[in-house]
Amino acid sequence: ITVSSGGMLVQKLNTDDLQSERTAFDGTMVYAQNKRQQVVLTERWARAHPAIHFSCMHPGWVDTPGVRLSMPGFHARLGARLRSEAQGADTVLWLALAPTDAVQPSGRFFQDRKPVPTHLPFARTSSSPAEEEKLIEILEELAQRFK
C-alpha cells in the first residue's frame, strides 16, 4: 500500500529533472511529482506482479506538521476542515485489512475506502508508456548508484 496525495492530481509525470538538478528546487512541486510517480509505479507493479496486491491511496487533506510547515496559507484557509491524523489513516488501515474482493483489481487508487480516478477531467495528466518507461530507467540508474 502506497500513501500518495491528492497533490498529484494536478501533476503530469515529468521525468526531465527528477533530482531538481537543472531547475530551482520547489518542495511542493517535487512532493506532488513524487506522489504522481508513486501512482504510476503502483499501477505498473500491479501489472507486472499479478500474484501480489498493490494499492495506492490518498488520505485526504490531513492536519499534519508537514502541511502546516510546507503549505501555511493552505493550512490557514482550510484549518478546521482538515482531517485528523486518525481520519487520514483510515483508508490505509482499511486497505491493509479489507477482504481481497473489496480491493480488487490490484493497482487502484483509493480515497475514503473507495477507488477514485488518478486524473482529473481535462487536466492532461496522463502519461504515455514511453514516459513511464523513462521513469523506470531513471529510477534504475539512481538505484545503481547505491549498490
Average pLDDT, whole number, for the chain?
93
Select the more confidently predicted residue: 1 or 27: 1
> What whole-number distance in Å separates Cα of residue 95 and Cα of residue 12?
26
> What whole-number distance in Å separates Cα of residue 126 and Cα of residue 146?
30
Contact 32, 12 (CB under 8 A): no
Which structural domains are found in the chain, ordered by start?
2-144 (3.40.50.720)
pLDDT tens sequence across 42-100: 999 999 999 999 999 999 989 888 888 888 888 889 888 999 999 999 999 999 999 98
At 2, is the pLDDT very low, low, confident or very high (cuts 50, 70, 90)?
very high
Among candidate residues 12, 14, 31, 138, the one labeled active-site is 31
Q: What is the reported pTM?
A: 0.89
134 is catalytic: no
Q: What pLDDT, on a 0 to 100 scale, did the predictor assign at position 68?
A: 85
Task: Report residue 122: phi and psi, to 5°.
Answer: 65, 10
